[in-house]
Amino acid sequence: MPIFDSASLARLLENLPAVEQQQQPTPAADKSIGWAPYAALAGGEAADIGTTLMAQSRGGREANPLLGNFGPGAIALKAGMAIPMALWMRHLDKTGHDKLAKALGYGASGALGALAAHNSQVGR
């Protein structure tokens, strides 16, 4: 006496493709770079702005001629430059270039961190 009859096995095999479809992983388009590269970018900008102001209070000056004496307008410009960078990162992420988006966020943060480290030594 067989454990399964032929009709039951045939029904099981007919439904097998439907079961396989339900167990497929989510598509890569749902993957996102997360919040960390954006936070790194914002943190780098904040560190650069803060240490530039600290260096100025100790007698240093802004070396970038585009930012002048680093008054409120320059601070707004520096902070505002993070917005297009973040939008570019988002665009890269949504178009399948998540590694490049992360590299941009972390790379910019590293460069800004290096500037902040330099600024912290000015006037000491």
Q: Which domain holds residue 116?
A: 31-121
pLDDT band for position 84 (cuts 50, 70, 90)? very high
Q: What is the pLDDT of residue 17?
A: 62
Contacts of 89 (CB under 8 A, 6+ apart): 33, 37, 38, 41, 101, 104, 105
Is position 54 within any domain? yes
Is position 22 within any domain? no
Q: What is the pLDDT of residue 71?
A: 84
Is position 24 within any domain? no
Q: What angle do CA 117, 112, 102 make, to 5 degrees?
A: 135
Q: What is the pLDDT of residue 18?
A: 57
Is position 20 within any domain? no
The total number of structural domains that make up the chain: 1
Spell out the alpha helix ranges (H) of 23-97.
36-57, 72-94
Distance of alpha carbon 8 from alpha carbon 10, whole angstroms: 5
Is position 106 within any domain? yes
Is position 90 within any domain? yes
Residue 35 CB burial class (10 angstroms; 0-12, 13-18, ≥19):
exposed
